[in-house]
Amino acid sequence: MDFNGSSGGGSDHRQIEESKPLLGEMSATEGNKMGAAPCRRALLHCNGMRYKLLQEGDIQVCVIRHPRTFLSKILTSKFLRRWEPHHLTLADNSVASATPTGYMENSISYSAIEDVQLLSWENAPKYCLQLTIPGGTVLLQAANSYLRDQWFHSLQWKKKIYKYKKVLSNPSRWEVVLKEIRTLVDMALTSPLQDDSIHQAPLEIVSKLLSENNNLTTQDHESIIVAIAPLLENNHPPPDLCEFFCKHCRERPRSMVVIEVFTPVVQRILKHNMDFGKCPRLRLFTQEYILALNELNAGMEVVKKFIHSMHGPTGQCPHPRVLPNLVAVCLAAIYSCYEEFINSRDNSPSLKEIRNGCQQQCDRKPNLPLRLLHTSPDLVSQEATLTESRLKPVIVTSNEIHVEVERNNTTNQKMTANVGNDSEPNLIDCLMVSPTCSTMSIELSTQADRILGCYVEILKMLSDYDDWRPALASLLQPIPFPKEALAHEKFTKELKYVIQRFAEDPRQEVHSCLLSVRAGKDGWFQLYSPGGVACDDDGELFASMVHILMGSCYKTKKFLLSLAENKLGPCMLLALRGNQTMVEILCLMLEYNIIDNNDTQLQIISTLESTDVGKRMYEQLCDRQRELKELQRKGGPTRLTLPSKSTDADLARLLSSGSFGNLENLSLAFTNVTSACAEHLIKLPSLKQLNLWSTQFGDAGLRLLSEHLTMLQVLNLCETPVTDAGLLALSSMKSLCSLNMNSTKLSADTYEDLKAKLPNLKEVDVRYTEAW
């Protein structure tokens, strides 16, 4: 049976239907034509009920073919035709059955459905739905009234959306199109259906309409944006619509539509978007919106108010996705500023070649849009006699970026040794000054420079919020910027404010992100240290970073060792200039025997004695060393128990009173000692058993013990405030045989990790912990 109306009569009905307003209801006269008195149309009120949009479902179907003049007689007949069970699918264009037999042998096109009604009559099956088609009627019977209403609203929605797609696909007059768009939006807002597609379908229709019609005026753009604004309050715009919004932000950044309509849309994107990777155009729209705000008269003040509105007035932002999304937008915008330079990498010398100076001029591809000129290694010997050539700067320009290369007149031995090395250099080595490229200054175009300034300023704003700073530091710890940005003096100089905020924050979760994210990879600490490409302050920021890291770094000895290996020269220079932090660093290197070379030790001592503060600290170090020798001198008790209520000062006073070189067992149980006493405990060379039961000894002290008391065998931490952060450090104490963590904040994962890393551990007490 064909329901698509191939007869002449059916064609007339479709023409009449399409000439009606899309959302218009049938008049009372038309309703009387369709049925007699017993057949009545149910009143269409939502009554607060909400339904999910049906895509498919099981329902009973009955088809009645009849002349229209006898409809009332058939519907009031006692005996109706047979019902067939079908699994119907509401597709985009038609209603079809999963088993195309019987009544549903052919699908029913939405264009063939003249009307959809809820029917109720005497002596007839309940929960019935009527579809009026050319030459007949299709009756659908649901299991209950809720399912019937759900089928009714779903069919109504599918039918109307199909008609709107058809009408708006061939627009004639834009004033009519705008009116239809407003009607479509009203229909979506008042629909009792609750589904994401209810609001997305109209947006996709409008998006397709705009993508296929590029000759719209600015007034038409704004009228359409205002018309669909109510739908955007709770829905993300589709990709094509995002492109349309981006274009409007670029062409008319001062339009009131940007402030009044786009602001709540962007706020919703930042609060609820989970992954810009799946919808990059949402990120691009957010990026263009922020740039449009920056074009207003107040400029960055407007952007600052917007960022504050996203954070909220309280000290804690209630939306966890706002910061990651803002950072993602900033990173993408900053990357776009250097995109042309990045794309030219294939035709330019690699950063390894820049460092090693090993690329031949004839090896390059022709017609380079941008390249860095430098000499080859074969010419290095010739440079010794060509002083004028060495000192002459080479400038290479493109329409976006200017790179100046000033040649040096010295040869780096380390570079020469690495010429034949094929391994990729690390990030900081790539950016360090090379023998053939002593300076690299990048100049961006005006537009790129404006974008860069805007988004670096946003990163500064984000770093000013205390609650956002830990997450921001974690996101920026891997240095997610292109190498070209890190080689750009203006960028690193502006970003320095953010790094300073991290270095000033006392929370370890913040300033620890200054270090590299993993071994072998450089971090902000290396980038802004003396000799790094971003250092422009003679090491002031470096000293600040060292100070904060030494105050909380539990791998103090390891950190000092890395400084001695890589940054000893800068540390001595800053100490020579009277920097107190660096003086302390040099004293600690001597105290912990970090420096093995005697000449280097003498040089450090000379450096310390050259300033008043250094001389004073070195004298204190000598006094401590004499006390340490006295403390560690063989003799004294092998067991020692401090009285309850003893403090850190009492312990320090006791240990300074004699020799404790033989002390193997120390009990501080039920005393008031804290992590501060760890500085004294690590000086006991023979200590094997330590009892800290019911003390205030915490994570910081535990980290210090794990680094120095590697021979400790028995440790009691029962009822101490230690957590996983400190307990994980015990994995380096391979001699531990007995460990009591009763009533601590030990987790099951940390317990399993400790068991795997401590092979000699035989006795463990984890009662009243998560691991119990």
CA neighbor of 666 nearest in space, from 643, 689, 684, 649: 689
Residue 95 amino acid letter: V
Statement: residue 16 has pLDDT above 60:
no
pLDDT band at 123 (very low <50, low <70, confident <90, very high): low
> Alpha-carbon dihedral of residues 618, 619, 624, 629, nearest 10 degrees?
100
**According to the model, what pLDDT value does residue 594 have?**
87
- Are the CB atoms for 368 and 347 separated by under 8 Å? yes
Q: Is the distance from CB of 84 to CB of 60 less than 8 angstroms?
A: yes
pLDDT for the residue 708: 84
Indicate the range of 278-282, 349-353, 588-592, 682-686 predicted with least confidence: 349-353
Strand partners, 721: none
**pLDDT score recorded for residue 335:** 94
Question: φ and ψ at 320, to 5 degrees?
Answer: -70, -20
**Mean pLDDT throughout 216-245?**
88
- Burial annotation 232-243 (CB, 10 A radius, 16+ → b, else e): beebbbbbbbbb
Token pair recorded at residue 720 = 């101490």
Pure H helices in 233-369: 239-251, 256-257, 263-272, 280-294, 300-311, 322-337, 339-343, 351-356
Instruction: Identify the residue whose tokens are 């002593």.
Output: 438
Name the phi and psi angles at 405, rounded to 5. Answer: -115, 115
The predicted model gives 248-260 an average pLDDT of: 90
- More reliable by pLDDT, 771 or 400: 771
Under 8 Å between Cβ of 505 and 469:
yes
Question: Across residues 487-509, what is the average pLDDT?
Answer: 93
**CB 198, CB 160: distance < 8 Å:** no
Is the pLDDT at 222 greater than 80, yes or no?
Answer: yes
| pLDDT higher than threshold 60 for residue 61 | yes
Residue 553, pLDDT score:
62
Residues 6+ positions from 712 with CB-CB distance below 8 Å: 687, 688, 689, 690, 705, 733, 735, 736
Instruction: Kindly state the percentage of the chain with pLDDT values over 90.
Output: 41
Question: Which among 64, 88, 68 has a CA at the least distance from the CA of 77?
Answer: 64
Cβ contacts of residue 674 below 8 Å, gap of 6+? 648, 695, 696, 697, 698, 701
**Of the segments 20-29, 347-356, 723-732, which one has the largest average pLDDT value?**
723-732
**Angle between helix 446-463 and helix 300-311 axes, rounded to 10 deg:** 40
Average confidence (pLDDT) over 431-457 = 71
In this predicted structure, the answer to whether residue 646 has a pLDDT above a threshold of 50 is yes
Average pLDDT, integer, range 270-285: 92
What span, in angstroms and rounded, lies between the C-alpha atoms of 137 and 33? Answer: 14
Can you tell me whether residue 210 is helix, strand or coil? helix
- Given a cut of 60, whether residue 679 has pLDDT beyond it is yes
73-79: average pLDDT: 53
Q: How far, in Å, are 21, 427, 574 from residue 537 at the CA level? A: 72, 21, 12
Above 80 in pLDDT, residue 520? no
Q: What is the pLDDT of residue 66?
A: 64
Lowest mean pLDDT among 302-306, 567-571, 745-749: 567-571
Residue with tokens 């001595």: 572
> How close are the terminal C-alpha atoms of the chain, in Å?
72
Q: What average pLDDT score do residues 73-99 get?
A: 79
Give the mean model confidence (pLDDT) for residues 423-450. Answer: 57
As a whole number, the mean pLDDT across the chain is 79
- 714 vs 15, 733, 744, 763, CA distance in Å? 93, 10, 17, 9
The predicted structure's pLDDT at residue 735: 92
Q: What are the tens digits of pLDDT across the range 134-153?
A: 878 888 999 998 999 999 99
What is the 8-class DSSP label of residue 593?
Answer: T
Of 185, 285, 164, the closest CA to residue 227 belongs to 185
Which residues, other chains included, contact 510 with Cβ-Cβ below 8 Å and sequence gap of 6+?
A: 469, 470, 473, 502
In the sheet that 128-133 helps form, which strands lie side by side, from edge to edge? 40-41, 115-120, 128-133, 136-141, 56-65, 84-90, 94-97, 108-109
Cα–Cα distance between 240 and 242 in angstroms, integer?
5
Across 335-341, average pLDDT: 89
Q: What local confidence, expressed as pLDDT, does residue 645 receive?
A: 87
Q: For residue 683, which of 731, 641, 650, 651 has the smallest C-alpha distance?
A: 651
| Average confidence (pLDDT) over 45-61 | 82
What is the predicted pLDDT for the residue at 596? 85
**Region 516-529: what's the mean pLDDT?**
86
| pTM tops 0.85 | no
Strand partners, 443: 402
Q: Three-state DSSP class for 173?
A: coil
Q: Check residues 622 and 27 and name the one with the higher pLDDT.
A: 622
Question: How far is 233 from 268, CA to CA, in rounded Å?
Answer: 8
